[in-house]
């Protein structure tokens, strides 16, 4: 496409009068000539030409199979017209296509009659009724009545094929979409055709459910009501739903529509965005509307009080109050803090869950209004913000280009960033990309990796250096050649383990950055963390990926003032709070007790801080433990704004329902507080903030409210300081082979709010365990499920063993935030790595 | 006209399946002869012999071999031994009685086309054939005819024996390839039109029928000229037919291709010996269950591809099924349609739904619940599977299985419409007969 555009531009600049010939080759569709790219699928080319060919099995993101025969049309490629499935033909020069002849109509009518003979006409009670391709196409192309007088085929209905998906085999028309999705897209071939002829059915293997993280996509692409999702079954009829296009707030920025009825969100559907998620969603994200609609949502501000519900600073209970009382208490505390210890005694933790606008409002409130720079959206589990801001970026589509080279230097994308996993998997499996994996344990992509290198925690920088310089010996020679020989390399970088110091990953990134061919995709996973970094919700930085010092003048002009010196990051803020130096601590959707790698420090911080304010849709663990004020925040689906994904792509995020009770959007709370402090920020609407971002941040200049609304794939922003060499890497710590090196990784279904507040998927979260390989287990003499004691120099905990051969030898892996085993007390954040001993008890 | 038996020449020798007997009767001499010449020479000899594929479509084997894209390796030979068409049992006999002849044929094909590995796919139900071929392969490996450096030359080929799991559709070559790859046996979509371009594991693949390959040793031994001296203009050499049904002497007969007539093979005393019990012929299927039926007026047609094609049917898989005057044509038709409905793989809509619907209408008619509109309904459902119900058939389906179910309906309704009407009008539809489904 780019080439063609260039050609046309060249022609114009040369002032040639004749228009350039249209791109592609001529084809005749129903008597009219169109130009289409040779090789383009004919069914798509017809649609480009404005002629819709009915179809059931064809799906643009999957290999055509030509099974349903609905798209039969007459095509003449020089040997006379012949009935051909249009999804199986590609455009060739001079093709003559007829889609409305008698023969075509008869074939389509015939196929529909055949599809309907066994299809139960239970449309009035079918979830799909009203948005059903079979219903719609029967109305448009079908016979209108059936001549089938026999009894229809019967199956037990419906049967659960996974925890979230039900299958009604009577309704199934065997289009192979779900089974193809499972095998081709998700790589979880757990559903398949069984039986033959008219008794063919889709089913799982016995006792082996369709337990895919992506199973919900099959419900969305099913062309009939055969697959239904447990969270949506019988909840609504399509004609009662209204919808709005939005962006799911994960780090990928998956495009979705939010559908609701009577102010209740009932369904998220993936939207096919070329740039991002191709229409796919993980089940965790797809069904997370249950959390938004949870009855445990906060509906009014809470303050400490007595058992009778009276507000009382010394009380143990959280009791309901009004915004006016809560805000006044807070404003007084902020004024006192300013008067006593200065603005540095105020700190803000969190903010990654906010919209760009919420983040900007809070960054301005903290830095411009209060004057503190101690604000950090990351919870010590990400990468330093200046590193993320300055790494040369690539896009998902560039990283996943045909024949590209990808280095995976992050946690398992299948567990952390599901839709990125699907894009990477597609690139490697179907588009010939070369994947080089540098991870401690096997990931969901290992079996597709050209070079899967097991890197012991602590050694990633030395392995990266060996790869880049080609000094890794025979073992790394091939992987090294693949990296150094490629024209462009995309490095997916993030933390492989919370038990390692982030500096190790930074060293590895620094090594790769020495190659001109390398571009990065930061795989930080927490919702809008990339927006938080870009909009200055991080110490030492201001909106626009710029440092406090570099943009001091510009922001002093825009905001009135900025903090005099850089503040502290989350670990520093918590340490200060524990030392009694923080008078007011905001938890902006943050839950340090659950998420910060050092829970003892988090607890001490909550104890030591003066006033703790939690602004969150729920009362989280930290709020319950130590918040003095809890303010109910509006959740996703209840706020307007925009979102920044890991590429720097800004897409709109839209309000569909009203927040429960008196919950408010985060930006509004910041605006209100500023006003009450006598320093009005002048925000009356979300668009005001969006446009102010575009005005004050040069990298956001093309991302004003109108531009974000107009762009189909969002506005890609880029910029930030040039990469600076980070110096020599920290030497790898010595490895003692009597110990296990600890890896703390993440899973799709952890103990986070998004899982636990969704009844449909909460049970999918497995209890915590320490995973070791079968070899290590036999060395220790423990069986699967045995209880062991895991000890580091700092502490020891007990928990069950799970034998998992994806874990490398010498490594003990524990998933973060799972009920039953909290490993974090073993980690000393000042150490590079954590070594543990495992003993039977 | 006298002719020399080609593929059944050792059928009288009940020890022919053993390698000693095979070698003693000239076996593996063709392989030695071929290895002394170039692969091109062998390929040209086969092309000159114009051996028509014996699996059903009748495509010249030598021409098919030429479709392999040059320079693409590895390339494979797949032997289609999934003989499952009702009435067809010639390949089973060839595999059971003279397995080394088939193995030698495989080796010759591999040598001629430069095929690196051979997969011998044998139908799941043919246990005896599987045992015989397995034993023969072991003997051949031991004797150095198969494997590395065959007979001391640079030529190496492995032959892998694979047993089917019992599906008629796997006789369709692309479904067979899917099955070999470990997938569900369902036909692939066209294009690509020939597995020779993209076949097993995405590589160039030649799929040949058992009988086709069994011809090769004789051709290499005696030369293409001797082979083409037999047979008619468009059908050279000999051909094996399996005659079954209401005849006195059912069996497998090798005849000179193109000159022998249906009357010869059905009535001849050397062959099937006439309709049993002296009854009259009512109809016969000339080329397997998928073929449109023939009647007494077709008896003098030669067993020759072009003539049979022009008369509106096909020699297909070489199965002649004879029906005598007492045959209930509605039930005969139902029997065949039921087979196709049960064997439909379920991949494409018209075959999966259509064949079963046809079967259920026929069941209903036989059970006494037919309706006057059923005959036109049968025809119209057939039209949705095979538009125009013409011969050769057009199809809305992926593979020819769907249209195969149309053949018996079209043939029987056209010729014996009165029998269908009798079932519909003479039944007392107010009473459900005992035992009716």
**Residue B1 pLDDT > 80:** no
CATH topology of domain A302-381+529-716: Rossmann fold (3.40.50)
DSSP class of A836: E
Alpha carbons within 13 angstroms on the beta-carbon side of residue A200 total: 27
Contact A840, A800 (CB under 8 A): no
- Indicate the residue of B189, B346, B387 with minimum beta-carbon distance to A193: B346
**Residue B434 pLDDT > 60:** no
What is the rounded average pLDDT of the residues A303-309?
87
Whether residue B204 lies inside any domain: the answer is: yes
Structure tokens at B125: 């139900």
Contact call for B349 and A150, based on CB within 8 A = no
Whether residue B1 lies inside any domain: the answer is: no
**Burial class for A109, CB neighbours closer than 10 Å (0-12, 13-18, 19+):** middle
Q: Which CATH class is domain A740-840?
A: mainly beta
Structure tokens at B246: 């209401």
- Indicate the residue of A69, A88, A149 with minimum beta-carbon distance to B350: A69
Structure tokens at A178: 């779900």
Q: Does A197 touch chain B (CB under 8 A)?
A: yes
Whether residue B14 lies inside any domain: the answer is: no
Q: What is the pLDDT of residue B427?
A: 61
Contact A524, A388 (CB under 8 A): yes
Contact call for B384 and A65, based on CB within 8 A = no
Strands (E), B39-193: 76-81, 117-122, 158-163
Chain B residues with at least one Cβ partner in A under 8 Å:
167, 169, 184, 186, 189-191, 341-350, 352-357, 360-361, 364, 371, 373, 377, 383-384, 387, 394, 396-398
Q: Does A211 touch chain B (CB under 8 A)?
A: no
**Residue B13 pLDDT > 80:** yes
- Cβ count within 10 A of residue A442: 18
Query: Which of B228, B256, B272 is where one domain is finished?
Result: B228
**Residue A365 pLDDT > 60:** yes
The CA-based angle A31-A35-A37, given to 5 degrees, is: 135
Ranking A15-24, A384-393, A397-406 by mean pLDDT, the lowest is A15-24
What is the rounded average pLDDT of the residues A158-163?
94
Same domain membership, residue B303 and residue B262:
yes
Hey, of A105, A112, A198, which one would you mutate to test binding to chain B, going by the most B CBs within 10 A of its CB?
A: A198
**Residue A736 pLDDT > 90:** no
CATH number at residue B335: 1.20.1440.230
**Residue A7 pLDDT > 60:** no
Strands (E), B246-401: 251-256, 281-285, 319-324
- Indicate the residue of A114, A115, A196 with minimum beta-carbon distance to B346: A196
Q: What is the pTM of this model?
A: 0.93
- Indicate the residue of A65, A195, A200 with minimum beta-carbon distance to B189: A65
H or E stretch at A641? strand A641-644
Range of the domain at B261: 238-324
Q: What is the pLDDT of residue A119?
A: 96
Q: What is the pLDDT of residue B177?
A: 96
Q: Does A62 touch chain B (CB under 8 A)?
A: no
Contact call for B396 and A72, based on CB within 8 A = yes
SS (H, E, C) A202-224: EEEECCECCCCCCCHHHHHHCCC
Same domain membership, residue B213 and residue B184:
yes
Q: In chain A, what are the domain boundaries?
A: 2-100, 160-292, 302-381+529-716, 403-522, 740-840
Same domain membership, residue B74 and residue B43:
yes
| Residue A1 banded pLDDT, cuts 50, 70, 90 | very low
**Residue B428 pLDDT > 70:** no
**Burial class for A473, CB neighbours closer than 10 Å (0-12, 13-18, 19+):** exposed
Instruction: Give yes or no for a cis peptide into B192 (omega within 30° of 0).
Output: yes
CATH number at residue B319: 3.10.20.600
Q: Which CATH class is domain A2-100?
A: alpha beta
Using CA coordinates, name the residue in chain B closest to A112: B349
What is the rounded average pLDDT of the residues B265-288?
95
CATH number at residue B44: 3.40.50.11540
Name the nearest CA neighbour of A261 among A245, A244, A241, A243: A241
Whether residue B85 lies inside any domain: the answer is: yes
| Residue A8 banded pLDDT, cuts 50, 70, 90 | very low
Contact call for A114 and B397, based on CB within 8 A = no
- Indicate the residue of A69, A118, A197 with minimum beta-carbon distance to B344: A197
Ranking A610-624, B17-31, B416-430 by mean pLDDT, the lowest is B416-430
- Cβ count within 10 A of residue B74: 13
What is the rounded average pLDDT of the residues B342-347?
96
Whether residue B51 lies inside any domain: the answer is: yes
Tens-digit pLDDT profile for residues A653-667:
999 999 999 999 999
Q: What is the pLDDT of residue B192?
A: 83
Name the nearest CA neighbour of A241 among A657, A668, A787: A657
Q: What is the pLDDT of residue A829?
A: 86
Mean pLDDT score of chain A, rounded to an integer? 94
Same domain membership, residue B389 and residue B303:
no
Name the nearest CA neighbour of A214 among A129, A278, A127, A293: A278
Task: Give Cα A800 to chain centroid, integer Å.
Answer: 30
Name the nearest CA neighbour of A805 among A772, A763, A768: A772
Nearest-neighbour CA in chain B from A200: distance (Å): 6
Hey, of B346, B360, B399, which one would you mutate to test binding to chain A, going by the most A CBs within 10 A of its CB?
A: B346
Structure tokens at A442: 């096997």
- Indicate the residue of A67, A196, A198 with minimum beta-carbon distance to B353: A198
Instruction: Report the C-alpha gap between B401 and B378 in whole angstroms.
Output: 17
Nearest-neighbour CA in chain B from A227: distance (Å): 19
Using CA coordinates, name the residue in chain B closest to A119: B353
The CA-based angle A203-A425-A755, given to 5 degrees, is: 65
Contact call for A198 and B364, based on CB within 8 A = no
Inter-helix orientation angle B99-113/B29-36, to 10°: 10
- Indicate the residue of A70, A192, A197 with minimum beta-carbon distance to B342: A197
Contact call for B352 and A200, based on CB within 8 A = yes
Nearest-neighbour CA in chain A from B373: distance (Å): 10
Same domain membership, residue B190 and residue B128:
yes
Same domain membership, residue B294 and residue B216:
no
A118 contacts in chain B (CB < 8 Å): 353
Tens-digit pLDDT profile for residues A434-480:
999 999 999 999 999 999 999 999 999 999 999 999 998 888 999 99
DSSP letter string, B300-327: TSBS-HHHHHHTT---TTSEEEEEETT-
Tens-digit pLDDT profile for residues B311-334:
999 999 999 999 999 999 999 999
Tens-digit pLDDT profile for residues A247-296:
999 999 999 999 999 999 999 999 999 999 999 999 999 999 999 999 99
Strand partners, A259: A243, A267
Nearest-neighbour CA in chain A from B106: distance (Å): 32
A193 contacts in chain B (CB < 8 Å): 184, 186, 346
Contact call for A195 and B344, based on CB within 8 A = no
B190 contacts in chain A (CB < 8 Å): 88
Name the nearest CA neighbour of A35 among A94, A100, A80, A82: A94
Nearest-neighbour CA in chain A from B143: distance (Å): 41
Structure tokens at B175: 């479904």
Same domain membership, residue B219 and residue B77:
yes
| Chain position carrying tokens 């320093």 | A679
Tens-digit pLDDT profile for residues B362-375:
999 999 899 999 99
**Burial class for B70, CB neighbours closer than 10 Å (0-12, 13-18, 19+):** exposed
Counting the structural domains of chain B, the total is 3
Task: Give Cα A213 to chain centroid, integer Å.
Answer: 13
Same domain membership, residue B271 and residue B138:
no
Contact call for A111 and B357, based on CB within 8 A = no
- Residues 148-187, chain A: which have Cβ within 8 Å of B? 148-150, 173-174
Whether residue B215 lies inside any domain: the answer is: yes
Contact call for A69 and B348, based on CB within 8 A = yes
Tens-digit pLDDT profile for residues B215-245:
999 999 999 999 999 998 888 999 999 999 9
Contacts of A295 (CB under 8 A, 6+ apart): none
Same domain membership, residue B256 and residue B209:
no
DSSP class of A392: P
| Chain position carrying tokens 């249906």 | B262
B184 contacts in chain A (CB < 8 Å): 192-193
Contact call for A114 and B353, based on CB within 8 A = yes
Instruction: Report the C-alpha gap between A367 and A363 in whole angstroms.
Output: 6
Tens-digit pLDDT profile for residues A496-547:
999 999 999 999 999 999 999 999 999 998 999 999 999 999 999 999 999 9
The phi-psi region of residue B314 (left if phi > 0; otherwise alpha if psi is between -120 and 50; otherwise beta) is: beta
What residue spans of A245-310 are helical by DSSP H?
283-286, 289-292
| Chain position carrying tokens 């007084």 | A332
Whether residue B433 lies inside any domain: the answer is: no
Contact call for B383 and A70, based on CB within 8 A = no
Asked: is A160-292 a CATH 3.10.20.30 domain? The reply is no
Distances from the Cα of A294 to the Cα of A265, A289, A640, A748, angstroms: 11, 8, 20, 20
Structure tokens at B409: 């309906």
ipTM associated with this complex: 0.92
- Cβ count within 10 A of residue A52: 12
Contacts of A73 (CB under 8 A, 6+ apart): A46, A53, A83, A84, A86, A97, A98, A99, A104
What is the rounded average pLDDT of the residues B397-409?
96
Contact call for B184 and A192, based on CB within 8 A = yes
Strands (E), A307-386: 317-320, 346-350, 375-376
Contact call for B343 and A173, based on CB within 8 A = no
Distances from the Cα of B29 to the Cα of B49, B219, B228, angstroms: 19, 12, 21
Name the nearest CA neighbour of B89 among B259, B292, B321, B373: B321
Same domain membership, residue B267 and residue B164:
no
Hey, of B124, B190, B341, B349, which one would you mutate to test binding to chain A, going by the most A CBs within 10 A of its CB?
A: B349
Q: Does A73 touch chain B (CB under 8 A)?
A: no
| Chain position carrying tokens 């020699």 | B315
Inter-helix orientation angle A666-676/A356-364, to 10°: 20
- Indicate the residue of A106, A111, A197 with minimum beta-carbon distance to B349: A111
**Burial class for A719, CB neighbours closer than 10 Å (0-12, 13-18, 19+):** middle
Asked: is A403-522 a CATH 3.40.50.970 domain? The reply is no
Whether residue B2 lies inside any domain: the answer is: no
């Amino acid at each position: 496409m780019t080439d063609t555009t260039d050609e046309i531009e060249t022609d114009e600049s040369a002032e040639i009068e004749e228009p350039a010939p249209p791109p592609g080759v001529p084809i005749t569709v129903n008597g009219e000539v169109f130009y289409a790219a040779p090789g383009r699928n004919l069914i798509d080319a017809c649609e480009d030409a404005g002629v819709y060919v009915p179809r059931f099995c064809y799906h643009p993101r999957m290999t055509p199979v030509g099974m349903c025969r609905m798209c039969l049309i007459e095509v003449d490629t020089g040997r006379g017209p012949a009935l051909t499935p249009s999804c199986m033909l590609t455009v060739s020069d001079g093709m003559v296509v007829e889609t409305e002849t008698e023969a075509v109509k008869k074939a389509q009518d015939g196929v529909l009659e055949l599809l309907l003979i066994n299809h139960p006409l239970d449309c009035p009670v079918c979830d799909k009724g009203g948005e059903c391709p079979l219903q719609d196409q029967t109305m448009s192309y079908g016979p209108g009545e059936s001549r089938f007088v026999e009894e229809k085929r019967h199956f037990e209905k419906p049967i659960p094929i996974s925890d979230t998906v039900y299958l009604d085999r009577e309704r199934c028309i065997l289009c192979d979409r779900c089974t193809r999705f499972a095998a081709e897209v998700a790589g979880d071939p757990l559903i398949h055709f069984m039986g033959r002829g008219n008794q063919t059915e889709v089913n799982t293997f016995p006792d082996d459910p369709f337990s895919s993280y992506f199973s919900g996509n099959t419900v969305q692409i099913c062309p009939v009501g055969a697959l239904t999702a447990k969270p949506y079954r019988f909840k609504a009829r399509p004609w009662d739903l209204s919808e709005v296009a939005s962006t799911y707030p994960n780090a990928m920025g998956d495009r979705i529509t939010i559908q609701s009825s009577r102010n209740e969100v009932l369904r998220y559907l993936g939207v096919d965005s070329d740039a991002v998620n191709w229409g796919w969603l993980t089940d965790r994200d797809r069904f997370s509307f249950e959390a938004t609609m949870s009855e445990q949502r906060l509906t009014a501000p809470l303050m400490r009080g007595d058992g009778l519900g009276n507000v009382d600073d010394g009380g143990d209970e959280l009791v309901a109050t009004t915004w006016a009382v809560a805000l006044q208490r807070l404003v007084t505390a902020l004024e006192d803090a300013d008067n006593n210890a200065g603005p540095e005694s105020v700190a803000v933790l969190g903010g990654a869950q906010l919209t760009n606008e919420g983040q900007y409002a809070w960054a301005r409130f903290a830095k411009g209004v209060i004057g503190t720079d101690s604000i950090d959206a990351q919870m010590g589990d990400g990468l330093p913000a200046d590193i993320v801001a300055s790494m040369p970026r690539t896009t998902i589509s560039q990283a996943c280009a045909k024949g590209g080279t990808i280095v995976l230097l992050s946690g398992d994308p299948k567990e952390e960033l599901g839709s990125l996993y699907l894009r990477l998997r597609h690139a490697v499996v179907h588009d010939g990309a070369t994947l080089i994996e540098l991870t401690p344990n096997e990931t969901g992509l290992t079996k597709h990796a050209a070079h899967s290198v097991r890197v012991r925690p602590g050694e990633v920088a030395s392995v990266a250096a060996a790869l880049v310089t080609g000094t890794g010996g025979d073992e790394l020679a091939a992987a090294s050649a693949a990296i150094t020989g490629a024209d462009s390399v995309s490095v997916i970088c993030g933390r492989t383990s919370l038990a390692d110091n982030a500096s190790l990953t930074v060293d590895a990134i620094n090594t790769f950055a020495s190659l001109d061919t390398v571009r990065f995709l930061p795989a930080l996973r927490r919702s809008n963390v990339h927006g938080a970094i870009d909009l200055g919700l991080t110490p030492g930085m201001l909106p626009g990926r710029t440092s406090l010092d570099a943009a001091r003048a510009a922001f002093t002009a825009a905001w009135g003032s900025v903090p005099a010196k850089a503040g502290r990051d989350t670990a520093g803020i918590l340490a200060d709070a524990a030392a009694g130096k923080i008078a007011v601590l905001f938890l902006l959707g943050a839950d340090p007790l659950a998420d910060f790698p050092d829970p003892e420090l988090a607890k001490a911080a909550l104890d030591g801080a003066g006033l703790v304010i939690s602004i969150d849709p729920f009362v989280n663990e930290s709020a319950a433990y130590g918040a003095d004020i809890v303010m109910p925040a509006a959740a996703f689906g209840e706020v307007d704004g925009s979102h920044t994904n890991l590429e720097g792509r800004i897409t709109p995020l839209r309000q569909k329902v009203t927040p429960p009770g008196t919950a408010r959007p985060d930006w509004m709370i910041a605006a209100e507080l500023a006003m009450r402090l006598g320093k009005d920020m002048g925000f009356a609407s979300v668009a005001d903030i969006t446009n102010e971002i575009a005005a004050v941040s040069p990298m956001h200049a093309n991302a004003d409210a109108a531009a974000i609304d107009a762009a189909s794939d969002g506005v890609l922003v880029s910029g930030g300081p040039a990469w600076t060499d980070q110096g020599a890497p920290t030497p790898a710590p010595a490895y003692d082979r009597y110990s296990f090196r600890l890896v703390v990784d993440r899973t799709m279904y952890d103990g986070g709010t998004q899982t636990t507040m969704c009844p449909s998927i909460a049970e999918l979260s497995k209890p915590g365990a320490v995973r070791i390989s079968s070899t290590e287990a036999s060395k220790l003499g423990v069986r699967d499920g045995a209880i062991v004691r895991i000890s580091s120099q700092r502490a020891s905990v007990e928990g069950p063993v799970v034998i998992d051969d994806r874990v490398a030898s010498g490594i003990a892996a524990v998933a973060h935030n799972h009920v039953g085993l909290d490993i974090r007390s073993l980690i000393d954040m000042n150490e590079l790595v954590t070594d543990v001993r495992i003993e039977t008890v | 006209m006298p002719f020399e038996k080609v593929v059944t020449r050792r059928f009288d020798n009940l020890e022919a399946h053993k390698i000693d007997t095979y070698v003693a009767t000239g076996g593996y001499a063709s392989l030695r002869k071929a290895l002394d010449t170039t692969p091109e020479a062998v390929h040209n000899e086969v092309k000159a012999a114009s051996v028509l594929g014996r699996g059903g479509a009748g495509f010249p084997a030598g021409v098919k071999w030429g479709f392999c894209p040059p320079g693409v390796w590895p390339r494979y030979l797949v032997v289609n031994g999934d003989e499952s068409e009702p009435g067809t049992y010639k390949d089973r006999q060839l595999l059971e009685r003279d397995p080394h002849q088939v193995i030698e044929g495989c080796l010759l094909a591999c040598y001629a086309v430069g095929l690196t590995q051979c997969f011998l796919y044998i139908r799941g139900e043919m246990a005896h054939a599987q045992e015989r071929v397995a034993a023969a392969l072991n003997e051949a490996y031991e004797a150095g005819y198969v494997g590395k450096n065959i007979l001391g030359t640079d030529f190496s080929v492995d032959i892998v024996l694979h047993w089917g799991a019992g599906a008629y559709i796997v006789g369709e070559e692309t479904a067979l390839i899917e099955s070999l790859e470990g997938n569900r046996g369902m036909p692939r979509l066209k294009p690509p039109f020939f597995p020779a371009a993209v076949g097993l594991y995405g590589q160039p693949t030649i799929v040949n029928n058992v009988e086709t390959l069994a011809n090769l040793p004789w051709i290499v031994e005696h030369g293409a000229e001797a082979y083409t001296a037999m047979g008619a203009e468009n059908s050279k050499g000999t051909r094996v037919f399996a005659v079954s049904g209401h005849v006195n002497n059912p069996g497998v007969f090798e005849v000179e291709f193109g000159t022998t007539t249906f009357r010869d093979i059905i009535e001849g005393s050397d062959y099937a010996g006439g309709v049993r019990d002296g009854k009259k012929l009512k109809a016969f299927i000339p080329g397997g269950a998928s073929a449109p039926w023939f009647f007494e007026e077709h008896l003098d047609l030669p067993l020759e591809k072009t003539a049979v094609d022009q008369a509106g049917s096909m020699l297909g898989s070489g199965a002649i099924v004879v029906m005598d005057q007492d045959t209930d044509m509605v039930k005969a038709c139902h029997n065949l349609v039921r087979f196709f409905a049960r064997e439909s793989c379920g991949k494409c809509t018209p075959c999966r739904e259509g064949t079963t619907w046809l079967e259920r209408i026929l069941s209903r008619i036989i059970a006494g619940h037919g309706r006057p509109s059923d005959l036109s309904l049968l025809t119209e459902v057939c039209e949705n599977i095979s538009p125009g119900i013409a011969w050769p058939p057009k199809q809305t389906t992926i593979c020819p299985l769907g249209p195969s179910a149309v053949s018996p309906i079209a043939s029987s309704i056209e010729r014996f419409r009165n029998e269908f009407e009798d079932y519909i009008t003479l039944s007392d539809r107010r009473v459900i007969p005992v035992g009716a489904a």
